[in-house]
Structure 1
Amino acid sequence: MTASIIGAGESPYTRHPSTKASTETVITDAVVRALENAGLTPEDVDGFAVSSFTLEPDHAIDLAWKLGLRLSWLMQDTNGGASAGAMLQHAVHAIEAGDASVVVLAAGDFMDKIAFEQLVARYNRATEDHLSPLPMGGPNALFAMLTARQMEKFGLTREDYGRIAVAQRRWATANPEAVYRTPLSLKDYIQAPMVAEPLCRFDCVPPVTGADAVVLVADELARGKRRAKVMAVTASYNSENQSGDGLQTGLADCSSIAWERAGITPGDVDVLAVYDDYPAMVVAQLIDMGIIPKEADISDFIRKRIYSGDLAINTSGGQLSAGQAGSAGGMHGLVEVVRQLRGDAGSRQVAAKFGVVSGYGMVLYRYGACANMAVLEAAE
């Protein structure tokens, strides 16, 4: 592929947004930060993509106009946790086709209590017509059942999932932009109040307000700059037609293609950002991408690779500690891996040549219908 990310920015996440904040203001803030990080201005941009659940009644073109962007390529995506990978995939193709040369990808939402309640009640027609009337209280109940099924299939315990949450909180303590940075122990996790058995408070991603953005450019414009070169982006949508058990994501279909196109193996990866709305989904995606080998003892892998910190996964703290800012949840991991590959991760910096970002989202009746994966390489 012939495109690289040379800038990343995040509008600070918060559980209690200012009365002056809006979806427009937080996305704009993230875009400005990403452009400054890339050493560019709005006048340099000719491509723009945005993902948001709460931007309405505005659309991508309205936001582009308010940002002062004059464009030859424009996209709007509403696929939640899979939106960053989807926009990246389309933007790379736009650059390769000559439709744009400097593309800003942005995602964010204003997510207070009212906005969150409206989102989970009217997420899509399936939710509004068939899940909300139960009432089912949002996705926690769905993923509680999926987690219980995963526990039974692989012999996992609550402690196994707790080790994932604790490890990510440990990373979050070094991330000043994470909403939750107080150290978390396994005892804290086990004793936390139940939300929907077997899920406790620390298994459920906290909604926040915020936004993220990256700047993607043609490789010839990235020469001499610290960059994350895009090696591969693959996706799978509606892979199981909502007929499976939910324990396998679309990554099982598209990850082998990503590894082949990138020319590396799962063992070559130095840093990962896995979409983490629930710990069970971290496990599912790691299996589907081959990061957890098929023959591995999953509980042992969690202890020795994730809990120990040996595997640099969700080094921002992930959404479980940094927060889920609506559609920005899908962009949060991309921003973090770009920062790691460009050496911008501060005290949580790891030695990283190759990074992987996975996206997962858009619960239909039961499970996420969208999944994608991007492989990036540190380059200059």
Structure 2
Amino acid sequence: MMAPYACDPSQSRGRLYPEEESDFRSCFQRDRDRIIHSGAFRRLKHKTQVFVEHEGDHFRTRLTHSIEVAQVARTIAGALGLNGELTEAVALAHDLGHTPFGHTGEDALNALMEPYGGFDHNAQAVRIVTSLERSYARFDGLNLTWETLEGIAKHNGPVLPPLPVALADYAARDDLELTTHASGEAQVAALSDDIAYNNHDLHDGVRAGLFSDEDIAELPVVGAAYAEVDRRYPGLERRRRRHEALRKVFGAMVSDVVAVSRAALEQSGAQTPEDIRGLGRQIIRFSDGMWADIEVIRAFLFERMYRAPDVTRMRADVTRVVEDLFPMFLRDPTLLPKAWRADVLAVEDETALARIVADYIAGMTDRFALETHERLFG
């Protein structure tokens, strides 16, 4: 049973291009399925989470991260009476706009695009699902529902002017009410992202040898989880011990979100999705204590993982790849694949050309970007 403030697919605001409804799938199910079948979603398999994709088969990629986020989001949405299908669609799509090499690639591309309006991966995700995916006969993009597009655009909160160029282009055609908060479903997807990456980055960091079980056992929440595992399973083999402990960390964070958000929702008196959007604050949230603990974990990961010497060297190498490719394609767009040249012929200025080059580079996987750089630069 869904709560009254959940997004009801029968009350969806619809799609930019009207379509007949399915006999056996809701509109949000169809959104989720279109995202899963998109080329951009498949390419996440070979895009960095923290480690460059080819550095090890066991590390998370953007694809496995997105699947983990969706799993957490479904659990929380179900506990709160929200629409699980919409929540899952937003969760699966939230990283579609990421460049190769993760945030390092995004930082490099954003700097190169600064004269042309910048680059933002959330806005790029909207651009992908509304324009760059070109498989359907009647429209560009995936023609997702208003609710799914809204969730992708502002799951992290309102988007205030000046809008990222990629988002402004679509907002001129369809008002996503960017200055308000998103639905409860989209807010769940955002917090599920925090839960997933904090947990799996601890796991991947230990696997990579950047820190040890003993190091992370000193962190809040994590330490208590290790202690509980040691109490219940004394002498447990190290890998199983770590897995059991991080499972408990997952559970603690999810339980905190559910308890705090359920109480906040009841207190808010919200009776419709519009009530949630109009509250003026995020209603899906951690407790203050849990958030403080998560901030400690994030600071640890930033220092010991994201800025570790090996990762920093990788960041310098892949930044150079993006910095070499962008100006080369901008100078000589005939180097772009044939399928992209029709768009190039239609542009009228360098800004529009730069946006096409950014679209092309942002869509690359880690592997393809490295191979392209090798082919063009040796």
> Normalising by the residue count of structure 1, what TM-score does the alignment of the two structures yield?
0.26
Q: Which has the higher strand share?
A: 1
User: TM-score, normalization: structure 2?
Assistant: 0.26
Larger radius of gyration, structure 1 or 2? 2
Quick check: which one's helix share is greater?
Answer: 2
Which one has more relative contact order, counting CA pairs under 8 Å at least 6 apart? 1
